[in-house]
Amino acid sequence: MGEFSKFYKSLLIVLIAFLLVCTPILFFNTVVDPYGIFFKAFKNIPMEPNKRYMKMKFLKENPDKFDSFIFGSSRANSITPENIPNNRYFNMTYSGGMPSQHYEDIQELLQNGVKIKNLLIGIDYSSLLENPDIAESDLLRKKYPVSLIEKILFYKAYLLNIPDLEFVKLALMKSTIDRSTLLENGIITNKKHDSIIEALPLQHLSNVNLFIPHSFYTPNPEIGKNIKQIEKIVQIAKTNHINLIFYTNPTQSTTYLNLDLDDYLEALKLLSKVTDYYDFSGLNSVAINNLNFYESSHFREKVGNLIIAKIFNIPYKVIPNDFGQLVRKENVNDIIKLHKQWYEEFLDATSIEHSYQLPIDLKKLQKLPGSPIYSLQSVNELNTNSIKQPMLITTPWVKIKGSVSPSANLGEKSAIYIQIGNKLFKTNCREPGIGEKPITKTTKVDWQIMIPACFIKDGLQVVKLVVLSEDKTKFSITGPIFKIDHLQRYKPIKIAELKTDSTHTKFSIDIINEIKSNEFIEVSDEKSLTIKGWAIDESKQKPIGGVIVSLDGKAYLSQFIYERTDLADHFDNPDFKYAGWGISIPISNLTLGEHELYFRFLNSSRTGYFSEMQKIKFKKIKLQVFDFFKGLNKSLLKTEYSIDIINENLIRETKEPISISENKVKISGWAIDQPAQKSASDVIVVIDGKDYKSTFGTERPDVADFYNNSAYNNSGWRIEIPTALIGKGEHKLKLKILAFDKLSYYETEKEIVILVQ
């Protein structure tokens, strides 16, 4: 009896302990309800609720209220449904929304009697390049449960979720976010935030969150995986006669520079094969203006209104000329070229040292009466009839286009300049050769110019147009053609005026193009160098003021900041959280041969640089892709060979795909010309159809012994291929083996799959 009593006492203790532990958790998860699942408490707490669940529940209860829907990640929150004409739109935006989830939600709406006339779907680097498999486990975006089992698992996940202390503290704070319209049109307005940005633009431009790249959770190794989900959306829209429009979200410049650009552009190309879409991404005039973004991930509502105006052809909206290209499979290559052009223009214009026309003292020249006849076409891609003066400039450059008819007495090769303050900047003719035409009173010369903003003083500036005579003795000048009001985050860096700081820094150059900096020795066809590291101002106990990276003497200032909580913890200094730095430098025009990177670290006040410096030398090499077998016959016979090792993986003991996390693919093996009873002449490694030459002829006495043929003694081969040449994702690998007489080659049938991380 005593044992029985002890059992119940023990059971009671366990039950009480369970209730003591679980009751607060159950209370928090149901009554506080941070995800808005049980009591719709989402209006009163600062947490983001599960908008996906809440919106689907609302629409199932009100199936006839809307006939059109906007889908996308949280960036789609800036697309205001009421601003789209002619239909009743509801915005289904929620954090981290992916194409696979949009497809599920569209299916669910149709199955529940919601008649859909129009779908507007926003996609971007996240929805194209992220791994979609990780999203469903996140409580922030679990889908609406339908079956009994789904409901049990759904509510269990929220009821028994154990929050951490910081999450609880945040959930109990008073909310400053107005979500009152969440179930009216689907969006949360940011009017208070917008008004602060408009009132204090310089303060906003100094916000560190604009310089921390937004990164995705888990990159998807298969670029086309999300494209297949988009294809399913296209099919369901066709089946149900739904008008479907896709668009790409604008990407803020810091985040865009930090993307794997090759992967992103490849995704855009694949997307064009599935559907037409409007492309608002790339370093266009909207993306490079930080006043258009809340931080490095989300664009403002005024940008969303430009997207709507472009797609739905709303004429009264002023849209920059370079914002929003309709992409089809026929023109996608032109759009990709445009992305690359903007990329190089941006990086070039944000370099520190620029070569520009030396100042010309107009006071010493003869001023001719009258003004050149001119027309101004655009400033920063805005048509001049749309410009409100003075024009606020916060971009890295001022881009101006126009035409002029100079006076004939200035000579056939007179030069056209833009004057801002006391500086003159020489323009370029828009079309090659046009400047060589004889200039008469009626000649019309088209010109354009891109002036780095670091040459322009802050504040109100008058812009004039100057035509200088061929002999540089006379000029004519216009009155003000427009005015600008220039704001920049920092004073421009002038290297010549910096002093050596006698204090010290601690720094690290971590990686260059995903390769450890101490292993970085060469590049081939990369578009840019992306360099990441960290550095601290030791005496001030602050992050440094930036890194000046010189490539063959041309200097660039680090462009973005990385959160480094590991440094804050290691040095026990919370200020070091933002001590990570990064930079991208264009190298597409770099000549073959040796080059040098030179790093200087600015102190936190940006008045000098530390004596600690770093140099890294590297070579630019020609892409190692060959066509050895042109004109040779492929042998119908078989030969013997082996791929022994790939990055220390023994092939015969390893399952495919073979994962590669290093910066090079290292392969070795052997090959013989068995029909000739000789060693082969060479081995070419073929990856996705591209040929890479191995180093052939290493000693393999084991092969000679096995076949009892001394001719096979030097049949070994090896190769190291930078993963930057191959790219991330899955790739198929096989061999081409050159015969002993070099008149034919063997091609292996078996392909090995490697996965580059």
Q: Which amino acid is at 14?
A: V
Asked if the model's pLDDT at residue 249 lies above 90, the reply is yes
Nearest Cα residue to 692 out of 670, 710, 666, 729: 666
Task: Compute the mean pLDDT over every residue in the chain, rounded to the nearest whole number.
Answer: 86
Distance CA 590, CA 348 (A): 13
pLDDT at 439: 47
The more confidently predicted of residues 536 and 432 is 536
pLDDT at 734: 92
pLDDT at 165: 81
Asked if 707 contacts 696 with a C-beta cutoff of 8 angstroms, the reply is no
Q: Which two tokens stand for residue 99?
A: 């194409």
Nearest Cα residue to 120 out of 186, 23, 56, 182: 186
Nearest Cα residue to 294 out of 189, 194, 394, 395: 194
Confidence at 81, pLDDT banded by 50, 70, 90: very high
- The lowest-confidence range among 14-28, 557-571, 669-683 is 14-28
Q: Provide the residue ranges of all domains of the chain, joining segments of one domain with +.
A: 1-25, 51-134+192-345, 362-486, 508-620, 633-756
pLDDT in tens, 586-607: 888 888 889 999 999 999 999 9
Q: Do domains 51-134+192-345 and 362-486 have the same CATH topology?
A: no
Query: Which option is the CATH number for 362-486: 2.30.110.10, 3.40.718.10, 2.60.40.10, 2.40.50.100?
Result: 2.60.40.10
- The lowest-confidence range among 210-224, 481-495, 549-563 is 210-224
* Eight-state DSSP code of residue 29: I
Class of domain 633-756: mainly beta
pLDDT at 172: 76
Asked if the model's pLDDT at residue 286 lies above 90, the reply is yes
508-620 has which fold? Answer: Immunoglobulin-like (2.60.40)
Per-residue b or e along 527-559, where b marks 16 or more CB atoms closer than 10 Å to that residue's CB: bbbbbbbbbbbbeeebbbbbbbbbbeeebbbbb
Is this prediction's pTM over 0.75?
A: yes
Per the DSSP assignment, residues forming a β-bridge with 461 are: 484
Nearest Cα residue to 252 out of 219, 207, 220, 185: 207
pLDDT at 436: 44
Distance CA 696, CA 78 (A): 59
249: left (phi over 0), alpha (psi -120 to 50) or beta: beta
Q: Has domain 51-134+192-345 been given CATH number 3.40.50.1110?
A: yes
The percent helix, strand, coil of the chain (3-state, each to 5) is 30, 30, 40
